[in-house]
Amino acid sequence: MPQQLLLHSPLDMHLHLRDGEMLQKIAKESAYSFCGAIVMPNLTTPVTTKEAVIAYKERIKEAIGEEKFEPYMTLFFKSDFDRTFLESLKAHITAIKLYPAGITTNSFGGVSGFDIQTLQKTLQAMSDLEIPLCIHGETNGFVMDREAEFVPIYERLATAFPKLKIIMEHITTKASVEALERHENLYATITLHHLLITLDDVAGGLLRPHLFCKPIAKHPKDREALLDVALKAHPKVMFGSDSAPHPKEAKETCGCAAGIFTAPIALQMLAELFEKHGSLEKLGDFVSGNAKRIYSITPLSKTVVLEKSPFRVREHYNGVVPMFANETIAYIIKEVING
């Protein structure tokens, strides 16, 4: 019998489910294999109100149909959110996502300065109400240096609000990994693609638009640092796919949109990667255990049975091209058991 691997209640702690037609096209890919996900709020009109959070969650639930899947909702950070507003939202959201203005897809309404005074009111209220802060940590400097340049901002915020849980989203650098050790209240999500590729894979040969994302994949030494903490399921890191679908036409064009669609192959490829490095016993903590503890959540129970058996990845999912399209990967999802 082929080798099997059981994953209990896998969670995706950073996911773009989009809206409208795209939501209908891709939601089930995550809802099938994960038991829940932190849903990003960067819709064309960002999710900034209670009504918008509730209505978006409804649309997600409709799109996923019968699948057992919890969308953990987030709000798009604004520095004028006050305590009363956040209190009224607390039951409806799991975190708030902060984007620097204009740094990535649909982030134009984000934050344009990081002085503590401007952010004080909202961050103090979040800290008091125990609402975690997720940050897309990039400056608008040179593209390869943006994340490392943001590390001092993470550190200033972590020091100013020591009780606030700050999640450094989709980290790509050794500098971010090292910052985890310096502040008790800093945590991180790590994507599949940043564990697998470097800038060489994106632009070292022919340009690969389906591997283009923000933050851009970096240097081999950065990937090594990420692999080191992911493969041992360091208690402060968790899996967040940052699966970010765009229509094929928006990727294969002059002016390619940033984002890699990994949802349909994420768990299979994580199994392949962890097996290759002899770390399969740590995969459960990386994709579930750590997130449960960091976010204090009790996810829905679902068991994903992975089997080592070659599988050719589809060319597209309703017109959205996944990572590893047309390539053969080592694991399949054999079965998903609700329980």
Residues that bind ligand NCD (CB under 6 A): 16, 42, 104-105, 136, 213-214, 242, 244, 258-259
Both tokens of 159, joined, read: 């020091």
- 213 makes contact, choosing from Zn ion, ligand NCD, none, with CB < 5 to 8 Å by partner type, with ligand NCD
Q: How far is the CB of 277 from ligand NCD (least distance, A)?
A: 25
Q: 127 vs 191, which CB is nearer to Zn ion? A: 191
Q: 136 vs 248, which CB is nearer to ligand NCD? A: 136
Q: 65 vs 102, which CB is nearer to ligand NCD? A: 102
Q: How far is the CB of 244 from Zn ion (least distance, A)?
A: 5
Q: Is 128 a catalytic residue?
A: no
**d(C-alpha 267, C-alpha 44), whole Å:** 28
CB atoms within 10 A of CB 288: 24
Q: 201 vs 275, which CB is nearer to ligand NCD? A: 201
- 10 makes contact, choosing from ligand NCD, Zn ion, none, with CB < 5 to 8 Å by partner type, with none
**Residues in touch with Zn ion (CB under 5 A):** 242
Q: How far is the CB of 216 from ligand NCD (least distance, A)?
A: 9
Cα 279 from chain centroid (whole Å): 21
Both tokens of 262, joined, read: 């990994």
- 105 makes contact, choosing from Zn ion, ligand NCD, none, with CB < 5 to 8 Å by partner type, with ligand NCD
Catalytic residue among 12, 222, 242, 285: 242
DSSP code of residue 261: B
**d(C-alpha 113, C-alpha 301), whole Å:** 41
Q: Of 143, 150, 194, which Cα lies nearest the Cα of 175?
A: 150
Q: How far is the CB of 149 from Zn ion (least distance, A)?
A: 19
Q: How far is the CB of 62 from ligand NCD (least distance, A)?
A: 21
- 138 makes contact, choosing from ligand NCD, Zn ion, none, with CB < 5 to 8 Å by partner type, with none
- Identify the helix (H) or strand (E) that includes residue 14: strand 11-15
Q: 151 vs 244, which CB is nearer to ligand NCD? A: 244
**d(C-alpha 44, C-alpha 166), whole Å:** 25
- Identify the helix (H) or strand (E) that includes residue 193: helix 193-196
Both tokens of 123, joined, read: 């961050």
- 214 makes contact, choosing from Zn ion, ligand NCD, none, with CB < 5 to 8 Å by partner type, with ligand NCD
**d(C-alpha 149, C-alpha 122), whole Å:** 23
Nearest residue to Zn ion by CB is: 242
Both tokens of 221, joined, read: 């030494």
Q: How far is the CB of 75 from ligand NCD (least distance, A)?
A: 16
Query: Is residue 160 packed enough to be buried (19+ CB in 10 Å), middle (13-18) or exposed (0-12)?
Result: middle
**d(C-alpha 207, C-alpha 210), whole Å:** 9
Amino acid (one-letter) located at 230: A
Q: 215 vs 289, which CB is nearer to ligand NCD? A: 215
Phi, psi of 297 (to 5 degrees): -120, 150
- 94 makes contact, choosing from ligand NCD, Zn ion, none, with CB < 5 to 8 Å by partner type, with none
Q: Which positions are annotated as active-site residues?
A: 242
